[in-house]
Structure 1
Amino acid sequence: MKATKYYLAAFVAFLIWGFFSLGLKPIHDYPSLDILFYRVFLGVVLMSLINIVFRRSIIKKDWTNFKNMLPNHKRQILFLTLGGSVLLMANWFFFIFVMNHVSVKAASFAYLVCPILTTVFAYFILREKLSNAQWTAVGISVFSCVLLSYNHFMDIFYSLIVAATYALYLVSQRKNSEMDKFLLLNIQLLVAGICMLPFYPVYSGALPTEGLFYGYLLIIVVVFTIIPLFLNLYALKGVSSATVGIMIYINPIINFLLAVFYFKEPVSVQQLSAYSLILVSIVVFNEKLLFRRHKKQLEV
């Protein structure tokens, strides 16, 4: 029961992200960098206001804890927090670029590769253990990705960049577990905003004047950024990086369905087969949780 809330948090986060294209596609005519700039800047303002107005006691508590840490521990926290900002910023830019200028399916494919990379990174960096069933699920995932990559080299190239940045972010933040998650996310966005600020006058386009842009931007920041990222970081407190990583598959499955049924992108039998295998891999990876709970219900 204790771990259920963490599983639920990860599930809801990736469920929300699965519908991200609905918020992003209507403003696809705007440059990817502009969307990234305003997404980060607005996110910083909103989160900072929430923390300063409603969560000052938590800020003081975390600052006191940080000051009392040993120097080596402080450096580790700073490195993970700042590194997380860079990885998050890179992931957002490449994802927006792929979604708006390559295809929705290519963006979807990125998050098919991501769980595999997350699992591998977690195994080698964090020494997280996986059961035989979970390694089987990883194998099924690899095979499904090979099916999807056939004759789509550029999709794989862009997808690997998006996947690697987010996989590394997940693994690094699993170790960065001592700070309040909402405050941690605020700091990471603030660092990203400060890093991007000098580039804004040079690389940004004309200031958007359409209310449509700012309306969708607000939805992107609140619904598709702050809420799911907070849930994602919260989930990492109670479940492994590999488990959260495998949940990422919820995102591309929804993306794929939207690409086919809403955006009317063409789909092949090969792609349908690959996505079906991904559903199987999710069940296999989480078989202990799913079938243990089912067994308990039968016993009751």
Structure 2
Amino acid sequence: MKFPKYYLAAVTAFVIWGFFSFGLKPIHDYPSQDILFYRVFTCIILMVIINFTVRRDKIKETRTYLKALTKTERRNQWLLIAGSSVLLTGNWGLFIYVMNQISVKAASFAYLVCPILTTFFAFIILKERLHKIQWLAVFMSFVSCAILSYNDLRDAMFSIVVAATYALYLVLQKRITMPDRFILLTLQIGIVALILLPFYPVYSSTPPIEVTFYLFILLIAVLFTIIPMFLNLFAMKGINSSTIGILIYLNPLIAFALAILYYKEDITFEQILSYSLILVSIVVFNIGSYLKMKAIEK
């Protein structure tokens, strides 16, 4: 059965992202926009090198695949790739804006809202159906988010906008039929780089001279961008968007655990209650996934 392979890829991606603070914390004194610029530019340089040195056969296969499509199908695929790249750019840019100009809490809250929006968009756009138990898990997630946003509706609204861009990005991936997901990711990050390039001379600071900065950028590019995003796109081939959406919660759960156990940050009762509900919702959702899969097999 192929399902566990895709499921494992999704779980691995979000577990890796849960430890993202290990890459960001050591360079938190540098401007956020510089981290974004160098992250994206490093990613696209590495991916182009990889594709044109050891994956030329995959490039040929992708060209053959695209040529085999009708003119309308090919145009739709490029529109989906371009549209998802714009959403990805917006998500990364908005996330940094919210982090710097609104609050860190609002930026973190976006990761909690995203699974709910992903499930909603998948239901509306992709017509994905959920088991009744899975809807219970979604409701539990909604309650946990409502608890965290109760005291600050403004922050919650900014979080929803950030979350919506990534949720739509995830859902659009189900419409993209390009077989090689690494080349797809290369195209998407390439478009992101082209969008950011005109902003680099205006908004970037003086290029850092510390070797440590570039070492952590390389770590972020490889371990916290290319690998998990490729795994995420690969997982989308075998499991539905709703399942991907609920697994996003692994990211903030791990980050929350690190905040308590490693960074020794203060926590509130509301946060403990909310994250506990999220953990239970993941278990409930996956029970629903199992029951749904067994029903299909029958």
TM-score normalized with structure 1 length: 0.92
Q: Encode CA deviations 1:57-84: one digit per residue, 9 max, x unaligned.
A: 1101111111121111111100110111
Counterpart Cα distance in 2 of 1:75 and 1:114: 29
Match of residue 61 from structure 2: 61
Specify every segment of 5 or more residues in structure 2 that has no aligned partner in the other structure, as ranges: 294-298
Alignment of 1:1-300 (within 5 A): 1-99=1-99, 105-289=105-289
Q: Encode CA deviations 1:173-196: one digit per residue, 9 max, x unaligned.
A: 111133310000001111111121
Distance apart, 1:262 and its partner CA: 2.7
Q: Encode CA deviations 1:241-300: one digit per residue, 9 max, x unaligned.
A: 01111100000101111222333332111110111011111111110455799xxxxxxx
Letter aligned with residue 250 of structure 1: L
Counterpart Cα distance in 2 of 1:227 and 1:270: 34
The 1:86/1:204 distance shift into structure 2, 3 A limit, reads same
Counterpart Cα distance in 2 of 1:289 and 1:126: 17
SS at match of 1:266: coil
Counterpart Cα distance in 2 of 1:6 and 1:215: 31
- The answer on whether the counterparts of 1:118 and 1:167 sit within 8 Å (CA) in structure 2 is yes
Distance apart, 1:15 and its partner CA: 0.1
- The answer on whether the counterparts of 2:81 and 2:176 sit within 8 Å (CA) in structure 1 is yes
Specify every segment of 5 or more residues in structure 1 that has no aligned partner in the other structure, as ranges: 294-300
Counterpart Cα distance in 1 of 2:38 and 2:66: 30
- CA RMSD, Structure 1 to Structure 2 (Å): 1.9
> Mean alpha-carbon deviation: is it higher for 158-167 or for 123-132?
158-167
Distance apart, 1:236 and its partner CA: 0.2
Counterpart Cα distance in 2 of 1:153 and 1:120: 21
> Mean alpha-carbon deviation: is it higher for 5-14 or for 152-161?
152-161
- The answer on whether the counterparts of 1:105 and 1:255 sit within 8 Å (CA) in structure 2 is no
Counterpart Cα distance in 2 of 1:179 and 1:260: 41
Distance apart, 1:108 and its partner CA: 3.0
Letter aligned with residue 175 of structure 1: R
Distance apart, 1:127 and its partner CA: 0.6
Distance apart, 1:162 and its partner CA: 2.1
TM-score normalized with structure 2 length: 0.93
Counterpart Cα distance in 1 of 2:108 and 2:235: 22
Letter aligned with residue 21 of structure 2: S
Counterpart Cα distance in 1 of 2:184 and 2:85: 10
The 1:192/1:215 distance shift into structure 2, 3 A limit, reads same
Counterpart Cα distance in 2 of 1:147 and 1:270: 7
- The answer on whether the counterparts of 1:108 and 1:253 sit within 8 Å (CA) in structure 2 is no
Counterpart Cα distance in 2 of 1:108 and 1:75: 36
- The answer on whether the counterparts of 1:39 and 1:220 sit within 8 Å (CA) in structure 2 is yes
Counterpart Cα distance in 1 of 2:188 and 2:82: 7
Sequence identity percentage: 56
Letter aligned with residue 78 of structure 1: W
Match of residue 296 from structure 1: none
- The answer on whether the counterparts of 2:148 and 2:270 sit within 8 Å (CA) in structure 1 is yes
Counterpart Cα distance in 1 of 2:217 and 2:120: 34
How many residues end up aligned between the 2 structures?
294
Counterpart Cα distance in 1 of 2:39 and 2:167: 21
- The answer on whether the counterparts of 2:178 and 2:184 sit within 8 Å (CA) in structure 1 is no
- The answer on whether the counterparts of 1:171 and 1:241 sit within 8 Å (CA) in structure 2 is yes
